[in-house]
C-alpha cells in the first residue's frame, strides 16, 4: 500500500520527490518568515492602529503632531513597492539582524512591508466602535488607557481578527517575493525549479500548499471572528 | 447640587467659517433630589449643555460646580473619580455588545475596591432594582429597547452616584415603555434621593416626572421655572409653540382655518377658549355652574386637561349661547375664578 503510493507520487511528481528534503526546508522557511514577521507586525500594527485612532481629531487623546507624523509615515511606506523595499532596507537589515539574506535577513523588510497595511486595517477595525460606547465609558470615569483596553480592543476583537487574517495572507505573498533576495522559502523553491528548470510538478505542488495554507488561515480567522460576535 | 454659571460652548467644524455656538451663556441651578427637565427642539443645544455637567464637553468659558466642587479645574484623575458619582444614560443606551448584561453593569465597578464576590452581588442588586434580574447572562442584542435602557440605568447607578443625567433616555422607546422607564426614574429619584437632569424633546416626559424645567432654544435658556408655570402660562413664544404643538386645543386653529361647521356660529353665539391655571377652581364644576347661574347653553367643542405636578392645566373651547348680557356675565364669572378667557368669535347682535 505504502509502496504503491510512493510509486504513484514518483511517477506523477518526479522532480518534487527527488527534492523532498529541500521542499520541507522551503516550507519551514516560509512558515518561519510568516511567524516571525507576522508576530512583530501584529504587535507594531496594533500599537500604530491604536495611536492613529486615539490621536486623530476628535479622538480621546487628540494629538495633531503625533497623528500627522504617523499618518504620513504609514502612507510613505505603503507607497513603496515591496520589491524596492526589499533591496532598500538591506543596510538596515544588516545593522539590526547582522545579515541581509536567508530568513533572518528578510524579517526587517517583511515587517516594514506589512505593518503599515496592518496598522490601517486596525485603524479601520477600531473606527467601527460605536462613538456612544466611548462616550458612555468616559461618563463612567474611564481613563483614556482604560478605554483603549476595555472598550476599543475588547469591542473590536472580531474585526481585528479579520484584519489579522487578511494581513497574514498578504504577508504570505510577500514572503514569496522575499525569496528573490535569497531568503529561501516556497516562493523561491517554485521559481528556482518550477520556473527556471521548467519542473511543472513543483510549481503545482507549491501552489497547492499555499492554497491550503491560505484556506486554513481564512477558516481559523472566520471561526475566531464569529465566536467573538454577539 | 449642580450649579452652572455662564456656560458657553462653541464648535468649529470648519476653520474657514465662524464657530457655531451650541450653548450660549447658560446659567442654572439644580437642587439636591430634584428632577430638572431641559426641553427644546433638536439642535437647541440641550445635549451639549448636559455634557457640560460631567465635562464630556468642556465649556469654552463658565463654571460647573457639582456639590460645591469646580469641575473645570479638576486634574484628569480627579475628574475621572468625580464622573463616577455622576451617572448618565443615553438615547441609544450605549451598552457594550461584546459584554453580557452582568459584565456591562460590572464595567464601572472595576477599581471600586469591591471584591469579585461583592461586585457580583452588587450587579445582582442593581439588576433587581431595575426589575430585570433574570437577564444577567444575556447579551444586549437579545434585549428589547426598554430592557436595554434598564441595563444602562443599572450600569449608571453602579457607583452609587448622587446625580443622574438622562440624555433623551426615552426617545427611542415606544410610549408604553417610555411610561415604564419614567416611573422607574421617578421611583429611583424618591428611593435613592437622586438628583436628575432630564433632557428631552418630548413634553410628555417633562410633564410626567419633572418639578422644574428649562426651555432651550438656539443655545439659550428662554424660560425656566416650575413646570406648572412654564406649561400653563408660557411667556416665551418658543415655549408657547411647544405647549401648543402638544395640546389637543391646537386643533381649534385647524378647525378655524378649515371653517369647519363645528366652529361656525349661529346668531347670538360666542366662541371662546378657556384656559385653566393650576389648582384655580378646577375642582369646581365651572362649566355647569356658569350654565345654571346665567341660564346659558354651553357647548364644549374641544377639551384638553392634564395633570402636571399634581395640578390640572389645560383648557376647553366652548360655545356660549344665550342672552348677550348674560354671556358677558358668565365670562366675567369665569375670569373671577381665575380662568383665562379668550373670545375667538362673537356672533352676538349688537344691542
Is residue B129 within 8 A of residue B154, CB to CB? The reply is yes
Q: Which residues on adjacent β-strands are paired with residue B37?
A: B198, B213
Which of chain B's residues have a Cβ under 8 Å away from the Cβ of A137? 107
ipTM of the prediction: 0.84
Taking the CA of residue B126 and the nearest CA in chain A, the distance in Å comes to 16
Contacts of B99 in chain A (CB under 8 A): 154
Site of grid cell 411610561? B179
- The pLDDT score that the predictor gives to residue B281 is 47
Contact (Cβ atoms closer than 8 angstroms) between residue B302 and residue B329: no
CB contact under 8 A, A135 and B141: no
- Choose from B47, B105, B108 for mutation: most chain A CBs within 10 A: B108
Give B115-144 pLDDT, tens digit per residue: 999 999 999 999 999 999 999 999 999 999
The single residue listed with the C-alpha cell 437632569 is B197
Tell me the CB-side half-sphere exposure of residue B124, using CA atoms within 13 A.
Answer: 6
Count the Cβ atoms, other than its own, within 10 Å of residue A146. Answer: 17
Give the residue, A187 or B184, on which the prediction is more confident: B184
The DSSP output letter for A151 is I
Closest chain A residue by Cα to residue B156: A140
Instruction: Say whether residue A135 is in contact with chain B using an 8 A CB cutoff.
Output: yes
Question: In chain B, what is the straight-line distance between the N-terminal and C-terminal CA atoms, in Å?
Answer: 62
Nearest CA in chain B to A138: B56
Cβ-Cβ pairs closer than 8 A, A with B, add up to: 66
Residue B105 pLDDT greater than 50, yes or no = yes
The domain locations on chain A are 21-227
Residue of B nearest to A130 (CA): B94
Mark yes or no for CB contact B139/A136 under 8 Å: no
Instruction: Report the pLDDT value the prediction gives residue B282, as an integer from 0 to 100.
Output: 52
Asked if the B248-346 domain carries CATH number 2.40.30.10, the reply is no
- Quick one: which H or E segment has residue B278? none
- Which chain A positions have a beta carbon within 8 Å of B82's beta carbon? 141
Using CA atoms, how far residue B38 sits from B46, B50, B114, B190, B228, in Å, is: 7, 9, 35, 20, 14
Q: What is the pLDDT of residue B16?
A: 82
- Check B107 against A140: CB less than 8 A apart: yes
Contact B232, B277 (CB under 8 A): yes
DSSP state, residue B57: S
As its CATH architecture, domain B2-246 has 3-Layer(aba) Sandwich (3.40)
What phi and psi, each to the nearest 5 degrees, are found at residue A40?
-65, -45
Please choose, from the candidates B98, B76, B192, B99, the residue with its C-alpha nearest in 3D space to the C-alpha of residue A141: B76
Domain boundaries, chain B: 2-246, 248-346
Task: Output DSSP code: residue B226.
Answer: E
Question: A181: which DSSP letter?
Answer: G
Q: What angle do CA A72, A78, A84 make, to 5 degrees?
A: 125
> How far off is chain A from B63, nearest CA to CA, in Å?
19
Distance of CA A37 to the CA centre of its chain: 7
pLDDT under 70 in chain A at which residues? none
Dihedral sign computed on CA atoms, order A165, A168, A172, A174: positive
A171: nearest Cα among A21, A72, A45:
A45
CB contact under 8 A, B83 and A141: yes
Residue B214 phi, psi dihedral angles, 5° rounding: -120, 145
What is the average pLDDT value for chain B, to the nearest integer?
89
In angstroms, rounded to a whole number, what is the distance separating the alpha carbons of residues A110 and A82?
A: 8
Q: Between chains, do A150 and B81 touch, taking CB under 8 Å as contact?
A: no
How far B155 CA lies from chain A's nearest CA (Å)? Answer: 9
Tell which wins on pLDDT, B282 or A52: A52
Task: Give the pLDDT confidence of B29-81 residue by residue, as tens digits.
Answer: 999 999 999 998 888 899 999 999 999 999 999 999 999 999 999 999 999 99
Give the angle B164-B165-B167 at the CA atoms, nearest 5°: 145
Q: Cell triple for residue B68? A: 460645591
Q: In terms of residues, how long is chain B?
A: 351
Q: Report how far residue A189's alpha carbon sits from residue A181's, in angstroms, rounded to the nearest whole number.
A: 13
- Residues of chain B found within 8 Å of residue A150, distances taken between Cβ atoms: 107, 110
Contacts of A143 in chain B (CB under 8 A): 76-77, 80
What are the residues whose beta carbons fall under 8 Å from the beta carbon of B263, sequence distance 6 or more?
B252, B255, B256, B271, B301, B319, B345
What does the alpha-carbon distance between residue B60 and residue B52 come to, in Å, rounded to a whole number?
10
- Considering only the beta carbons, identify the residue of A138, A142, A230 that sits closest to B141: A230
Interface touch A135/B94, C-beta < 8 Å: yes
Nearest CA in chain B to A143: B80
- Phi and psi at A78, nearest 5°, equal -70, -25
Q: Check CB contact under 8 Å for A140 and B108.
A: yes
From chain B, pick out residues whose CB is under 8 angstroms from the CB of A224: none
The angle subtended at Cα B59 by Cα B57 and Cα B61, nearest 5°, is 175
Chain B contacts of A155, Cβ < 8 Å?
96-98
| The pLDDT of residue B156 is above 90 | yes
For residue A157, give how far its alpha carbon lies from the nearest alpha carbon of chain B (Å): 9
> Touching check for B58 and chain A: CB below 8 Å?
no
What residues 149-168 of chain A have any CB closer than 8 A to a CB of chain B?
150-151, 154-155, 157
Confidence bin at B351 (pLDDT 50/70/90)? low
- What lies within 8 Å, CB to CB, of B215 at 6+ separation is B38, B39, B40, B221, B222, B223, B224, B230, B234, B236, B238, B239, B242
Mean pLDDT of B230-249: 77
Q: How confident is the model at residue B279 (pLDDT cuts 50, 70, 90)?
A: low
Fold topology of A21-227: MetI-like fold (1.10.3720)
Distance of alpha carbon B233 from alpha carbon B239, whole angstroms: 9
Output B232 or B257, whichever has higher pLDDT: B257
B149 pLDDT band, cuts 50/70/90, is: very high
CB nearest to A139's CB, from B81, B83, B96: B83
User: Residue B222 is placed in which grid cell?
Assistant: 428662554
Computed on alpha carbons and rounded to an integer, the radius of gyration of chain A in Å comes to 21
C-alpha cell at A102: 536567508
Amino acid at each position: 500500500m505504502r509502496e504503491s503510493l510512493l510509486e504513484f507520487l514518483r511517477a506523477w511528481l518526479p522532480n518534487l520527490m527527488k527534492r523532498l528534503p529541500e521542499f520541507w526546508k522551503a516550507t519551514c522557511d516560509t512558515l518561519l518568515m510568516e511567524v516571525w514577521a507576522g508576530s512583530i507586525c501584529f504587535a507594531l500594527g496594533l500599537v500604530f492602529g491604536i495611536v492613529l485612532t486615539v490621536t486623530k481629531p476628535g479622538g480621546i487623546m487628540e494629538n495633531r503632531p503625533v497623528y500627522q507624523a504617523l499618518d504620513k509615515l504609514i502612507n510613505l511606506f505603503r507607497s513603496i513597492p515591496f520589491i524596492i523595499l526589499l533591496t532598500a532596507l538591506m543596510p538596515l537589515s544588516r545593522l539590526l539582524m547582522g545579515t541581509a539574506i536567508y530568513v533572518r535577513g528578510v524579517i526587517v523588510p517583511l515587517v516594514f512591508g506589512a505593518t503599515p497595511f496592518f496598522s490601517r486595517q486596525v485603524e479601520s477595525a477600531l473606527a467601527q466602535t460605536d462613538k456612544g460606547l466611548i462616550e458612555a465609558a468616559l461618563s463612567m470615569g474611564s481613563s483614556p488607557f482604560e478605554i483603549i483596553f476595555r472598550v476599543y480592543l475588547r469591542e473590536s476583537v472580531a474585526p481585528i481578527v479579520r484584519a489579522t487574517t487578511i494581513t497574514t495572507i498578504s504577508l504570505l505573498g510577500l514572503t514569496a517575493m522575499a525569496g528573490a533576495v535569497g531568503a529561501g522559502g516556497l516562493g523561491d523553491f517554485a521559481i528556482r525549479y518550477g520556473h527556471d528548470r521548467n519542473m511543472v510538478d513543483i510549481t503545482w505542488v507549491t501552489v497547492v500548499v499555499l492554497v491550503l495554507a491560505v484556506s486554513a488561515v481564512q477558516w481559523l480567522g472566520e471561526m475566531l471572528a464569529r465566536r467573538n460576535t454577539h | 447640587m449642580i450649579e452652572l454659571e455662564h456656560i458657553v460652548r462653541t464648535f468649529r467644524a470648519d476653520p474657514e467659517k465662524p464657530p457655531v455656538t451650541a450653548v450660549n451663556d447658560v446659567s442654572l441651578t439644580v437642587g439636591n433630589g430634584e428632577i430638572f427637565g431641559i426641553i427644546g427642539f433638536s439642535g437647541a443645544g440641550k445635549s451639549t449643555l448636559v455634557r457640560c455637567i460631567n465635562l464630556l464637553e468642556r465649556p469654552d468659558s463658565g463654571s460647573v460646580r457639582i456639590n460645591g466642587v469646580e469641575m473645570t479645574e479638576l486634574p484628569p484623575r480627579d475628574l475621572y473619580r468625580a464622573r463616577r458619582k455622576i451617572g448618565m444614560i443615553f438615547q441609544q443606551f450605549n451598552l457594550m455588545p461584546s459584554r453580557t448584561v452582568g459584565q456591562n453593569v460590572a464595567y464601572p465597578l472595576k477599581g471600586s475596591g469591591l471584591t469579585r464576590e461583592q461586585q457580583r452581588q452588587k450587579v445582582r442588586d442593581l439588576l433587581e432594582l431595575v426589575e430585570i434580574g433574570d437577564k444577567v447572562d444575556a447579551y444586549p442584542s437579545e434585549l428589547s429597547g426598554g430592557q436595554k435602557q434598564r441595563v444602562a440605568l443599572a450600569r449608571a447607578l453602579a457607583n452609587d452616584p448622587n446625580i443622574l443625567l438622562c440624555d433623551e433616555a426615552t426617545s427611542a422607546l415606544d410610549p408604553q415603555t417610555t411610561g415604564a422607564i419614567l416611573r422607574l426614574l421617578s421611583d429611583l429619584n424618591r428611593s435613592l434621593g437622586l438628583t436628575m437632569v432630564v433632557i428631552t424633546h418630548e413634553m410628555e416626559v417633562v410633564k410626567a416626572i419633572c418639578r422644574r424645567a428649562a426651555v432651550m432654544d438656539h443655545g439659550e435658556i428662554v424660560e425656566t421655572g416650575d413646570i406648572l408655570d412654564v406649561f400653563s402660562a408660557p411667556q416665551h413664544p418658543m415655549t408657547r409653540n411647544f405647549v401648543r404643538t402638544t395640546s389637543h386645543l391646537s386643533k381649534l386653529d385647524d378647525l378655524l382655518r378649515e371653517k369647519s361647521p363645528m366652529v361656525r356660529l349661529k346668531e347670538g353665539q360666542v366662541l371662546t377658549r378657556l384656559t385653566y391655571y393650576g389648582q384655580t377652581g378646577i375642582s369646581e364644576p365651572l362649566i355647569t355652574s356658569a350654565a345654571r347661574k346665567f341660564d346659558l347653553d354651553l357647548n364644549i367643542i374641544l377639551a384638553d386637561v392634564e395633570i402636571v405636578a399634581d395640578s390640572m392645566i389645560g383648557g376647553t373651547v366652548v360655545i356660549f349661547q344665550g342672552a348677550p348680557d348674560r354671556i358677558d356675565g358668565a365670562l366675567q364669572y369665569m375670569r373671577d375664578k381665575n380662568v383665562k378667557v379668550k373670545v375667538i368669535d362673537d356672533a352676538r347682535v349688537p344691542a
